[in-house]
Each structure stands twice: as C-alpha cells, then as structure tokens.
Structure 1
Amino acid sequence: MFQSFAERALALSTRGGAEYGECEKTMGRILPGDVAGWHREWTATAATVESWARQSDERGHRVSAREAYLRAATYYRVSYLPLFGAPVDPRLAGAFDHETRCFDRFADLAAHPMRPLEIPFDGGSLPGYLCAPEDGGTPRPALIGVNGYDSNLHEMYWSHAVPALRRGYACLLVDGPGQGRALIKDGRTLRPDWETVLRPVVDHALMLPEIDPARIAVMGWSFGGCLAPRGVSGEPRVAALIADPGQWDPSSFSRQLPLPDDLKERLPEVDPAELDPYLAGIADDPTLKWKLVQRALWVHGLDSLGEYVVELSRYRLADAVASIACPTLVAAAENDPTSAQAQELYDALQCPKELVRFTADEGSAGHCESWNRSRFDQRVFDWLDEVLESPGRTRATCGDHLTLR
C-alpha cells in the first residue's frame, strides 16, 4: 500500500511534480506499516521543499520558486493518503491546507494564466482552477477534468492541464462532491447523479472568455471514468467525452466478495445489515481496509460496507448511456482491473466512438496509464484535436465507429 502511495508521487516526476531523490530519501526513513511515520516524514520533506520555494520566491526567482512549490504540494498530498476516513483526521486537514497554499502560490507564479474559481453549486460552491494558454485572449477549445475517488484538482493539474496547455487548450479543473476540498473541508460526499454536478460547471465555463463554447470536452479519470459519462448523458453542450478508463457497473465487484450466493443474487435488493457479517474480514487486509473501509465509506458518507455494496448499484450507466450523443473515447489499460468493463461501455454507446487500449509492451499498462501518460496524451489528444478541429466541424455519424488496438 505504501508503495502504491509513493508511486502516486513518482509518476509526477516527468512533469515536475516530484523528484526521485526526494521521494527515495523520504521512503527510506519510513518503517513498513507505520502510518504516523509516513505522515511525519512526507510532511517533513514537503516542509523542506516549501522552505526552498520561499527562499527563491523572496528573492524574485519565479521559476525556481514555482517548481519547488509544486513538488511541496505533491508531498503534502501524499502525506495524508493513509489517513483517509471519517471523521476527518486533523493531520489530514492540516496537510491539505498546506498543499493548497503551495499549489495556490505555484499558480500565482505559473508561466501560463491560472486562476482559482468558485463554481456555484447546491447552495454553496465547488472549487476549481482555470488554466489557460499564455495568449488567453482568444477563445480556445477546453477540457473539463472529472476526478475520481481519492484525487483532487491539484493532482489533476499534471494529468489533465499540462497536456492540454501544451496543445493550446484551456483546462478547467474541478473538485466535485466527494473529492478534494469538497469532501475534506466542506463535507460534500459523492453522488451518482453527476449530471447535476457537471451542468453548473458547464454553465460556468460558458461564461469564461478563454473558452470556446462550441468546443468543450470532458475527461474523467479513475472513478471519473464512470462519473464523466453519467454527467455527459445529461449535458448536450459537451462536444466530446473521454472515459479513462471506461466503466459500466461498479457494483459488479460484489461478485468477488465473500458473500453467500443467495445474497449476491438478490443484490441490490437486500438489507445492508444482512451483508455486514460476511464483510467484516475485509478490514484484516491493509490495502482493502484503506480502499473500502477508510476511503469508500468516507467518500460516500456511509457507515458500513453493506451500505457501500448496495450504494454502488446507483452508479451503473445502463440507464444513462443512450443519452450520450457526443463523440466518445473509451480508454482501457492492460493490468488495470478498473478497465475490465471498458468494452461493455463501448459496446453500449450509440454515438461516434473509439476504444483505445494501452498495453504493457508500450509501458502504459496499469491504472490510468500513470507510468506513461505521454503515450496516453498522444493518442487521446490526437483524437480530440480531430474531433474539435473547428467550431463548425461536421460530426461523424453514429455508424462511424473505430476500435484502436
């Protein structure tokens, strides 16, 4: 589990979000399974790198300062991953505040325009960032990022904004309910009706002069590969969709749980209390405990694993997929269990569509292609460039399907 958390930082090293030496030295100071030590040592590294950033900042060295602030933000974020759960650990909330401070200062010093946004939503607001090309006066095609379970808009910067900006796109990063600040500070938990989340985000995007209203794309990664298609199903103003990876019915994982066959057959029409006795052993495995007991229950605002198993049935896309009309790219990475249902989503789509597979041979296997995002960006943004090539583009007919393998 600690290895997977460290890799979350290391994957950012190719784009300036981390340095191998800083990560390696930090990991070397941590004993296996020592959660308190994990948080302490990653926080110590983050504070050191932040102090380097301030030294350069105070002397007017903008490039050095912003590079260090971005790395410090990464290390603060990684420090609190093992602390997930409700009620929110004060150490987690504090590290998130430090991460936000560093990222905000990075944004102030960035080479391209970046500005924080508050998007009105459900009596409050959702936090966002608009990242625009340097010549931001001309409306550009735009990418809206949809996050997953345990990330936030700061981490999405490297995965979504960096490749978008390099290609002349604007990028709007948002934390929805159950994500980032919306969860940690505002207590908003995840909801399946992502169309109600995406709609005000698109409303806001259409008011931004940097964004071409006819060329708005939506990309969801990790669990966002389920949320983004659901959101786009209720948002006709979106011109293109990317699901990374494509998902269909997240509740199908319950088939692998240690439940009696008769309970599995009755799902989701069961009392969660019937499931709980069979799921108690999950907490004996540290990784499953973190994924399901700490993370999932917190993100969904639930009290038991039985409730979680039943709740996931609300996230299936079968009832929404027919309403997705825009060209859609479905990604599937080898050795990523989350990609297992990408083919099912692709088959069910009735719009112009492509299925793009990423393989171990090209170094892009694994969850969200995190070890070769350059290959992911090449294939996905080349497709997106062609789909959004002009405001007056002629969309392909629903019969124009292509599968890339």
Structure 2
Amino acid sequence: MKVVFKDDHFAFELVRNLGFMYYGGSDLGEIVATGSKIKEGDFENWFDEWDKRARRTLSRADDSFSRGHLVSAREAYLRASTYFRMAEFYLHGNPDDPRIISESRASQKAYNKAADLTGPTWERVEIPYDNTTLPGYFYKVDNSGEPRPTIIFHGGFDSSLEELFYYGGAPANRRGFNCLTFDGPGQGAPMREQKLPFRYDWEKVVTPAVDYALSRSDVDGSNLVLIGMSLGGYLAARAAAFEHRFRACVFFDGVYDFHESLHKLLPADAIAAFEAGDSDRCQEIVEAAMPHSTPLRWAVTQGTWSLDVKTVADLLEITKAYTIKDVIKQIRSPCLVLEATGDIFFVGQPQRVFDELTAPKKFVAFTEEDGAENHCQSGALAFKDQVVFDWIDETLKS
C-alpha cells in the first residue's frame, strides 16, 4: 500500500505512522498535508516538513493545555510526539547531527506530557540492565493492582519507545492485558543518549525485562507473552530460545537471518567484493548505489549507526551473528509467526522461521486484499491486533 509517495521507503514510513491514527497517534489530514509537501527521497526535506508539523501540533497542544482543555492537549501531544519522531528518522547518516538528540528529546517530552495527562495507568519505568537502566512504559488496564496477564513488547531496527504503545500497549489494554514496553540497545534513547548499540544476544536484554515484570504485584507471572516487532522478530526469537518464562511468543514479522536480508538488499557486486575480502570496493559500490535507492541508503546509514560500525563491510561482518539458525529449536513456547506479503525488508524469512520451529506454532500471512501487506502490517493495525490477540487469548486459555 502506498499513500502520497511513490518512493518505496517514504511510502512505507508515511503509512507506518498514518496507521497510528487508529489509536490516536496521528491524523489523516496532518499526515497527508505534510507528506504532500515533501520531495521524493529527499531526507532533508523530509526533516524540514515533519519538524514544522511537529512544532505546529505542539504549539496547539500547549495552547489547549494552558486553557485547561486537557483532553485536546493530550491528543495533540501524542500526535506531536509522532511527528518529531518522523522528522528525526532519516538523520542517522551523520551520527553527530545535533538534531538526532533534539528531535528525539522533543518527541519524548511531548509523549511524557501526554502520559502525565493520561494518569496512573501509563507509568514510566526504568528497567535495570547491565549497570544502567533501559527506559520503558508499563501500561495498565486500570489502577486496581489486580494481577493480569502481561505482554512484554519491544521493537526492532528503528523503533523508539514512544511508538510502541500503538503497536502493543493500546491493543493489549483494550483486551485486559498489561503491557510492558521498552527500548533496548540500538533503539530509542539507549542508542541516542547512552550510545548503546545493538547486540545479537537479546536474551541479555529480555531477561532483565522479565525480572522487572515479575517484581510487580500487578503482573500475573504465570501468563507472560513476548512480542517482537520488525527486526524484533529476530530479537524476540533469539531471546525466547534462552528465556523460558513466556507462555507464548509473537514474531511480527518472523526474521530468521538479518545478515541474509542485507545480502538481498545490497548490490550483488558489493556482496561479491565483501566475500572476496575487498572492503574498499564493497564500500565504493554501495556508496555509488545509495543515491538511487532510498531503502538502501536508509538501511546502510541506520545499520552503521545503530550497530556502531564504520563501513558496509563492518556491517555485513557484525550481522553474521544475527541468526537463529543454531538456537531456534531451543524455543519451547507456542509461537505465532506473522508475514507481510509486500515486505520490502525480510522477504521469505517468516516462512523459514515457521518451518524450523519445533514448538507449537501458527503462521499467518497478511495480504494486499486487506491492505495489510506492508512490513509489520503497518496501516492495518486493527486487523493485525485482532489476529494477534485472539491467538494470545486462546493460547493462554488452552
């Protein structure tokens, strides 16, 4: 599905954030009006227009707040947070760009204001991790303190904490589940503020989140569910192979081998140069191709930034560890594997995950017929959530 843009990646990012309108994180008119002003594939123009939209929306939120219109203020703060995050999205080609921090903080600040206006059911938390903490939100159905089944939800290659409510927290709360969301290394504030890059052994990230959840009296520790989104489909599967306190796991979408996905994205002659040991030639080929492919340019700049490497060859080398090949049979929990048939990032990988799982499993493919073919079913959250949470409910009751 494409809206406004013809460019594959710009179109995907617009639909991704447009989909948040279902839970109040964006609005159709604001998204389309802003996107229509942006030149295809122009990262700086993308920043300029979304930054303007974010500040315009933030100003309206502040105005409503100052006049005591708290519902209007909360709703506008949520949308402003989304638009600041959109503005920052394509800036990572220069890791020293000060706008990475300023826009990220603006997004966090607006979201935090919305959270404060929501009340005690949106709780900011810090999860102890490796001599520091990871930022998170604990979304509660109510403030009764009743122990409830709890979703532990994390994102993937480019996610930030503030968007995870729309993918996980909102549908969970509507159905009677608590939801703990967090940013790990390579994501959100841990990458931007603490300079913590991705790590392949994600069980070292998820296990502290489980420990934190189990420390809470309002969590039913016998009914924990892990959900990983996008590259988080790999990260969650890796974690589930070692962390066995989950009753169920959802990989949306399934990711078997991150390194392999880069092979399909990069030019074939660049891969050949890498495999021949010619790192300089590999770099030259990719840099020559990047201006002609937004997905390639974004994947390389995002990858080198979030994994803290300098070159394309370094990126290819470090991602060799990001595979579940040798651990997938260690997963014990029932698993739901999702596939988006129009995915431009992990083509064919969900089926491979499903085929090699030995735990109880279910596979669901989302298609163009339902407007759900985009990566992670972006733009079709209602249908995705129906499928995911119906399966979770049935699995926990079985």
Same fold by TM-score greater than 0.5: yes
Are 2:90 and 2:298, in contact at CA under 8 Å, matched by a contact in 1? Answer: no
Counterpart in the other structure of 2:283: 276
> What is the CA deviation profile of residues 323-359 of structure 1, one whole-angstrom value per residue up to 9, with x for unaligned ones?
1101110011111142511111111111111111111
Cα 1:262–1:232 shift into 2, 3 Å: closer
Q: Which of 3, 15, 25 lines up with 1:17 in the alignment?
A: 25
Counterpart in the other structure of 2:100: 92
Are 2:291 and 2:297, in contact at CA under 8 Å, matched by a contact in 1? Answer: no
Within 1, Cα distance between the matches of 2:195 and 2:135? 13
Larger deviation: 23-32 or 375-384?
23-32
Counterpart in the other structure of 2:351: 343
After superposition, residues 76-225 of structure 1 pair within 5 angstroms as: 76-110=84-118, 113-225=121-233
**Amino acid corresponding to residue 321 of structure 1 in structure 2:** I
Cα 1:189–1:136 shift into 2, 3 Å: farther
**Amino acid corresponding to residue 328 of structure 2 in structure 1:** V
List runs of 5+ in structure 1 lacking aligned partners: 394-405
Instruction: Quote the offset at 1:39 in angstroms.
Output: 2.1
**Total equivalences in the alignment:** 388
Cα 1:91–1:384 shift into 2, 3 Å: same
Cα 1:37–1:84 shift into 2, 3 Å: same
> What is the CA deviation profile of residues 3-37 of structure 1, one whole-angstrom value per residue up to 9, with x for unaligned ones?
33333321212221111212233234444455334
Are 1:8 and 1:78, in contact at CA under 8 Å, matched by a contact in 2? Answer: no
List runs of 5+ in structure 2 lacking aligned partners: 1-8
Within 1, Cα distance between the matches of 2:262 and 2:39? 33
Within 2, Cα distance between the matches of 1:36 and 1:273? 28
Are 1:112 and 1:133, in contact at CA under 8 Å, matched by a contact in 2? Answer: no
Are 1:16 and 1:70, in contact at CA under 8 Å, matched by a contact in 2? Answer: yes
Cα 1:357–1:289 shift into 2, 3 Å: closer
Cα 1:59–1:305 shift into 2, 3 Å: same
Are 1:230 and 1:317, in contact at CA under 8 Å, matched by a contact in 2? Answer: yes
- TM-score with structure 2 setting the length: 0.91
After superposition, residues 312-331 of structure 1 pair within 5 angstroms as: 312-331=319-338
- TM-score with structure 1 setting the length: 0.90
**Amino acid corresponding to residue 276 of structure 1 in structure 2:** Q
> What is the CA deviation profile of residues 98-145 of structure 1, one whole-angstrom value per residue up to 9, with x for unaligned ones?
110110011111166111111111121111110001244111111111
Within 1, Cα distance between the matches of 2:269 and 2:57? 51
Larger deviation: 109-118 or 297-306?
109-118
Within 1, Cα distance between the matches of 2:303 and 2:330? 28
Within 2, Cα distance between the matches of 1:378 and 1:166? 11
Larger deviation: 339-348 or 315-324?
339-348
Within 2, Cα distance between the matches of 1:275 and 1:31? 29
Larger deviation: 280-289 or 180-189?
280-289
Within 1, Cα distance between the matches of 2:41 and 2:368? 29
> What is the CA deviation profile of residues 30-50 of structure 1, one whole-angstrom value per residue up to 9, with x for unaligned ones?
444553343233222212211
2:255 corresponds to 1:247: yes
Aligned CA-pair RMSD: 2.2
Counterpart in the other structure of 1:55: 63
Identity of aligned residues (%): 34
